[in-house]
Amino acid sequence: MYWQTSRFQIDLSRPRIMGIVNVTPDSFSDGGRHADLSSAVRHAERLLSDGADILDLGGESTRPGSPALPLDEEMRRVLPVLAELVRLGAPVSVDTYKPELMRAALDLGADIINDIWALRQPGAHEVVTAHPACGICLMHMHRDPQSMQVLPMSGDVVAQVSDFLRQEVDRLRALGVASERLVLDAGIGFGKTVEQNFSLLARQGELLALGLPWLAGWSRKSSLGAVTGLAVGDRLVPSTTAAVLAVDRGARLVRVHDVKETVAALQVWQAVQQETRGGTPSEKDGGSR
């Protein structure tokens, strides 16, 4: 299994780590820490050194209740950093739902569009079909960031997420988008209750029936705080635990803040998998590229 992106064909025979590069002043976890060009690039370089396989660059906070960011400000934040990141020799994902930024990012050399709206904004489908090799991550979100936790989902969350993503995948396939370009994300925390988020993890195997690679984004999420009582900055252990559990249940990618620690956790998981298959873990079979 692989993920076809603009410049890279990413081998998903082992789990891959997507390191988060937020250039936002108000992200729920690390807002303002990497908001200028030089610190953002240094952070990205450190993530790659720690073992990230992919960089995920975002300029707009989508925490619950966050206001929408004007397009010109998001482009001002993202594009100068992107121009530097595409030179680092690793796949770069841009976390945006705005078609204008998608187009500009792909023209600059971005490899992946990671869209919380699953390309439902007008014009988004046209952008990704005009760039016939870019990778796409489709995420499920209930309502929008401003209202998603005011009125979260009800009913069987797994069935609803599965139905929604199947519909969006079918729509893209009808437009000629190859399945190899697609990865799916359940949208942990995006309009779900704590119980629903953990249901998505416990029953993740049911979502794999869609037949596409799965990305899990549990890092520092509020549901981890709800069950542990830990503040955002103290959620390293539950975040890495959730990442390993997601991979053990079939996720091929994890989106994380704490790359080095997630690499180490997955190396332990991989050693167990190697032993189960009757092999000796390779020193190279960790989280590095």
Q: What is the pTM of this model?
A: 0.91
Domain edges within the chain: 2-260
Pair 254, 17: CB distance under 8 Å: yes
Helix (H) or strand (E) holding 164: helix 157-174
Token reading at 54: 């992919």
What pLDDT shows up at residue 65? 73
Pick the CATH number of 2-260 from 3.40.50.1360, 3.90.1150.10, 3.20.20.20, 2.60.40.3880: 3.20.20.20
What digits encode the pLDDT tens for the residues 243-266? 999 999 999 999 999 999 999 999
Is the pLDDT at 31 greater than 70? The verdict is no
Percent over 90 (pLDDT), the chain: 83
> Cα dihedral sign for 244, 137, 40, 86?
positive
- CA–CA gap between residue 17 and residue 86 (Å, rounded): 17
Distance of CA 144 to the CA centre of its chain: 17
For the annotated catalytic residues, the residue numbers are 221, 255
Instruction: Tell me the DSSP string of 89-134.
Output: SS-EEEE---HHHHHHHHHHT--EEEETTTT-STTHHHHHHHSTT-
Residue 285's pLDDT band, with cuts at 50, 70 and 90, is: very low
Token reading at 176: 């000629």
What pLDDT shows up at residue 288? 37
Is the pLDDT at 153 greater than 80? The verdict is yes
Is the pLDDT at 116 greater than 50? The verdict is yes
Query: What three-state secondary structure class fits 187?
Result: coil
Cite the DSSP H helix spans in 131-235.
157-174, 194-202, 204-207, 222-228
Average pLDDT, the chain: 92
In the chain, the amino acid numbered 101 is L
What digits encode the pLDDT tens for the residues 117-143? 999 999 999 999 999 999 999 999 987
Is the pLDDT at 30 greater than 90? The verdict is no
